[in-house]
Structure 1
Amino acid sequence: MVYYYTYQGKKYASLESLALLACGEPREEEDVTFLINRPPEHRRAGFLVTDPRQLTAKADGVEWLDSRRIDAPVPDLPKGISRRLWAGELQAANFRHPRWEQAANRTEKRQRNRRRVHLLAVGDVGSTLLTALKLLGGDCIGTIGICDLNENTVARWVSEMGQISWPWDYEALPKVEAVQPKHLFDCDVFLFAAAKAIPPVGSQVQDVRMAQFAANRPLVESFARQAREARFDGLFAVLSDPVDPLCKAAYLASNTNPGGQWDGMGLLAEQVQGYGLGVMNARAAALAQSDLRFLSFLSDGRSFGPHGEGLVIANSLKKYDDEISRELTELVKTANLRIRDLGFKPFVAPAVSSGAMQLLLTLRGQWHCGSVCLGGVWFGVRNRFTSKGLETESVNLPDALFARLKETEATLKAIL
């Protein structure tokens, strides 16, 4: 049985009896949001429904990447709800979340075509990211505000970027300007690219990303708390390593009250996204272009998981080869070490492929590689933002591939 409700001028539906004013079934042309009732601490507050089992599932996880594997009954939905679901027009919100109303309504706030982006830290990664966004983001970014501890660094990049324009079309590219720390969250997108410590070239650290976690975690937590105080409702994007656990650290810090309890009054889980998987996907493509054994990746391959240990590259979804995929994964995972062996820090490709390109796809509402909240961790997947919420791709996953994803899920849960 499906119950229908009205609240603050909006129509809702649910499989459960809720403390809202009951109403009749919405008309065909009326918008409706489906309310679920789950513990809110470690899941998205709102999302696009792509399978009816998502409405009855008690938990989410990598099973949502292959809806056939969701261990939940298929609900008997009215024709109107089913039509909306399969047409990609059904949004869900978690009624138990303290901010369920914001989760249900935030996608209705259509932002201007060209967003305001704020970038924290313009070091190696940040400056490369800034350059790429300046050159490529004119269609969806109006202004890029930059902030750094070094005022001269900010002044330098404002000046440099101000001297980049197309002749006779001087408003085509985003304007770059300095932003003061107190105004960091007066924007649509906040980019966290700050890093406290990077192991030097030539060091014996094998997993550089995890070596940075202890140093960078307090930084991202501090700015996540600032986002809470500012009631920031835009995208909180994490580019610093290790991307995936830093996303979770930011989410938890933002939603922890002064007494140390989770209260859900900070960033919604779907507001936090990590940008580290894009370069792994690009590295796999580069290898596939140079080695025929990996060629299928270019047409049917996928990348999953974190930017580092736990990465999963699938050579193909339809003709998955576990041995080939594991070899490709290892080559991709260690590609950055080859750059370090040459005596350089591997930051250019990550800043562009993981950062600028994926962020622009995000702002355009297109499919991209990014880490989203899934099963209580931030997990790299193919996803996109729609007018009805965040959508993660669901495909038929071979058993061997799905087993690898479960291993990665456990690995991420063990970190934080």
Structure 2
Amino acid sequence: CIPGRMTRRLSYFLTERIDCMYYYTYQNKKYAALESLALLSCSPPRTDEEVTFLINRPPENRRASFLVTDPRQLTAKTDGVEWLDSRRIEAPVPDLPEDIRHRLEAGKLRAINFRHPRWEEIAANANRRRPIRKRVNLLAVGDVGGILLMALKLLGGECIGSIGICDLNENTVARWVAEMSQISWPWEYESLPKVEAVLPERLFDCDVFLFAAAKSVPAVGSSVQDVRMAQFAANRPLVESYARQARKAKFDGLFAVLSDPVDPLCKAAYLASNAGEDGQWDGKGLLAEQVQGFGLGVMNARAAALAQTDLRYLTFLTDGRSFGPHGNGLVIANSIKKYDDQISQELTEQVKTANLRIRELGFKPFVAPAVSSGAMQLLLTLREEWHCGSVCLGGIWFGVRNRYTANGLETESLNLPDELFQRLKETETTLKAIL
């Protein structure tokens, strides 16, 4: 910045710059930015005023809005796995004014991509209050869906008001509605969520849409080595169809994917919902931060189960982490502070193949995934608590510890050992090669 007195003119395309910052007003809201934007300039916000930070990046394949946890996120040109260790973000650290810095440190600074076609809508709805008890609609009550439904019915009374279910088999829907209606605490008949049938065309009249449909699952005993990737070709057109329906309905809730393979299906849903009539990305569908995959939770739980029975993995219970996809590319860290690459690699392999032990017993491994990845992580999400889920990171969906806050989606940032970070980079490359 050039020191000296600056004049302020209330005209478009001309801004006031204070300490290398630009301040704007638009539709009675105040904004800050590190560059000149086509908005009306204004004075800096008062301490008691809300302010949103505007960034200016290509909008495709990235979050349109997020909680800022490190100043480098405001200058970074990319948002890959480096964001899981903000020290590794190759971007200059901006000299933020004290007020903006305090908001960031307090977890109260939201960033919105000014270049996103729907940035105004995002800004207008940023602090919109949703009901405490949400409406959840579940597509498909098969193996996973049925267990998921039961867990949400029993555990979700605090944050779920009702659950709508939809399935191609009408008798399946009727059966589950009847069964769920007969589950209640005596004399507290309204304490658990009500379960009811929902028509396919009303699936997006809700706060949360759960995609648990699967066109086919390799049979127990089949020769398929990677069951999850074998499902991708079959399930991709299905999730894309419902993503386009979400676009048409202007759905603004959470689009959650539980079907395998979770991570590439999330990206497929996002891309399909944002494809215009010409097939090109137009940003008029689901926001990247609206789409989350729930597959990592069971991998984290499997690691914990192993750590409880094998002392070599004990540190996972206090300082371990899980990253990446529900399948090939999974990364389990035995500890962040005392990372051991060999132990972590062994633990990862045992977690990754744990589902095969269930198949060897003659069963499909769907109970733990439905509860640990599905119900538990969804309830933590609705409570705005830390949970395991796949979120948009560098143009792919990547499993991390994250949470939704009042000021946007936050992903955990840690001081990651070099060996661990290299594993994350390899997984990033693997996922980019899929879609």
Within 2, Cα distance between the matches of 1:105 and 1:360? 26
Match of 1:148 among 162, 167, 170: 167
Pick aligned residue for 1:209 from 228, 232, 240: 228
Aligned: 1:375 with 2:394: yes
Count, aligned residues = 416
Q: Which residue in the other structure is 1:402 paired with?
A: 421
- Displacement after TM superposition at 1:196 (Å): 0.2
Out of 138, 152, 174, the position equivalent to 1:133 is 152
Structure 1, unaligned runs of 5 or more: none
TM-score by length of structure 2 reads 0.95
Alignment pair present for 1:297 and 2:321: no
Equivalent position SS for 2:126: helix
Alignment correspondent of 2:207? 188
* 8 Å CA contact retained: 1:276, 1:306: yes
List aligned pairs for 1:257-276, cutoff 5 A.
257-276=276-295
What residue is the counterpart of 1:111 in the other structure?
Answer: 130
- Partner Cα separation in structure 1 for residue 388 and residue 36 of structure 2: 37
CA distance in 2, matches of 1:352, 1:324: 27
Name 2:16's counterpart in structure 1: none
- Residue 103 of structure 1, CA deviation: 2.6
Alpha-carbon offset, residue 258 of structure 1: 1.1
CA distance in 1, matches of 2:402, 2:174: 36
SS at match of 1:326: helix
| 1:348 alignment partner in structure 2 | 367
Residue in structure 2 matching 1:53, options 55, 72, 81 = 72
> Per the alignment, in what secondary structure is the counterpart of residue 308 of structure 2?
helix
Structure 1 position 157 matched with structure 2 position 176: yes
Q: State the Cα deviation string for residues 357-385 of structure 1 (Å, max 9, x = none).
A: 00000000000000000010000000000
Q: Does 1:28 align with 2:47?
A: yes
1:117 touches 1:187 (CA, 8 Å); kept in 2?
yes
Q: Which residue of 1 aligns with 2:15?
A: none
SS of 1:108's partner is coil
> CA offsets per residue over residues 104-145 of structure 1, 9 Å max, x none?
333311111100000000000000000000000000000000
In structure 2, list runs of 5 or more residues that go unmatched.
1-19
- Equivalent residue, structure 1, for 2:85: 66
Q: Is the 8 A contact 1:50 1:86 kept in 2?
A: yes
Assess if the C-alpha contact under 8 Å between 1:314 and 1:325 holds in 2. yes
Of residues 97, 102, 123, the one that matches 1:78 is 97
Structure-1 residue corresponding to 2:114: 95
RMSD of equivalent CA atoms: 0.5
Q: How far apart in 1 are the matches of 2:131 and 2:208?
A: 12
Distance 2:125 2:396 in 1: 23
Report the CA distance between 1:19 and its aligned residue. Answer: 0.5
- Greater alpha carbon shift after TM alignment, 105-114 vs 91-100: 105-114
| Residues 1:311 and 2:330 are matched in the alignment | yes
> Which amino acid in structure 1 is aligned with residue 166 of structure 2?
C
Q: Deviations over 1:11-47 (max 9, x none)?
A: 1000010011110000000000000000000100000
| SS of residue in 2 equivalent to 1:310 | coil
* Corresponding position of 2:14: none
Contact 1:92 1:104 in 2 (8 A): no
Is it true that 1:390 corresponds to 2:409 in the alignment?
yes
What does residue 17 of structure 2 align with? none
CA distance in 2, matches of 1:300, 1:374: 23
What is the percent sequence identity of the aligned residues?
A: 81
Pairing 1:220-369 to 2, within 5 Å after superposition: 220-369=239-388
Normalising to structure 1: TM-score of the pair? 1.00
